[in-house]
Amino acid sequence: MIELPDPGPFYETVWLIVRQIPQGSAATYGQIAGMIPPPSGIDQEDYDRLGPRWVGDAMNAVSRLDDPAIPWHRVINSKGGISLPPDSPAAALQRARLRHEGILNDREQVDLSACGWEGPDAAWCEAHGLYRPRSLKPPAPDGPQQLSLF
DNA sequence: CGTTTGACTACGC
DNA sequence: CGCGTAGCCAAAC
């Protein structure tokens, strides 16, 4: 099934991470990139800029592999939206899967503050030489916010 | 083998 | 808050 000659360690690492995203959660390209140390020879500064795009490349490659073990649909952009061309079949599939998991709101976006992935546990990250991801949820300046409903 | 494009983001209006 | 832009590398053409 895998026809790509050698996707490279970076892609493999991306796929490894994406496999950890649980049903009902979503991660962003930048978030995933931020978990991976810069490939050798790449400045941190450059990597911050390019990493998210490479993650996108890895997702593009995965759709060609069509590996059901990699929940690529749970990877979205920093705005909580789908980055595929809206009219493409792949986008339709992603929308359908996200909707099926109940995390796509009426504006066809994922509320990252509610469904944003918090990442694997620290032990897992350390075991794989990865960083813990930054949280996608809004900063809590002073402990858990009281939900002021009234 | 040169050109074009893109599954990104941060930033400015 | 939505839309346009720059920057930048690797794939895809």
3-class SS letters over chain A: CCCCCCCHHHHHHHHHHHCCCCCCCEEEHHHHHHHCCCCCCCCHHHHHHHHHHHHHHHHHHHHHHCCCCCCHHHEECCCCCCCCCCCCHHHHHHHHHHHHCCCCCCCCCCCHHHHECCCCCHHHHHHCCCCCCCCCCCCCECECCCCCCC
Per-residue pLDDT in tens (0 to 9) along chain A, 150 residues: 333 445 578 888 999 999 999 999 999 999 999 999 988 878 888 888 899 999 999 998 887 677 888 999 999 999 999 999 888 888 999 999 999 999 999 999 999 999 999 999 999 999 999 999 998 887 666 555 555 544
Domain around A16: 7-127
Q: Which of residues 7-66 of A touch strand B (CB under 7 A)?
A: 28-31, 52-53, 55-57, 59-60, 62-63
Residue at A147 is within a domain: no
Residue at A143 is within a domain: no
Chain B positions within 7 A of any protein Cβ atom are: 6-10
What CATH number did the domain enclosing A35 receive? 1.10.10.10
Residue at A35 is within a domain: yes
- Nearest nucleotide (C1') to alpha carbon of A58: B7
Residue at A150 is within a domain: no
- The total number of structural domains that make up chain A: 1
Residue at A22 is within a domain: yes
Residue at A2 is within a domain: no
Its pTM stands at: 0.88
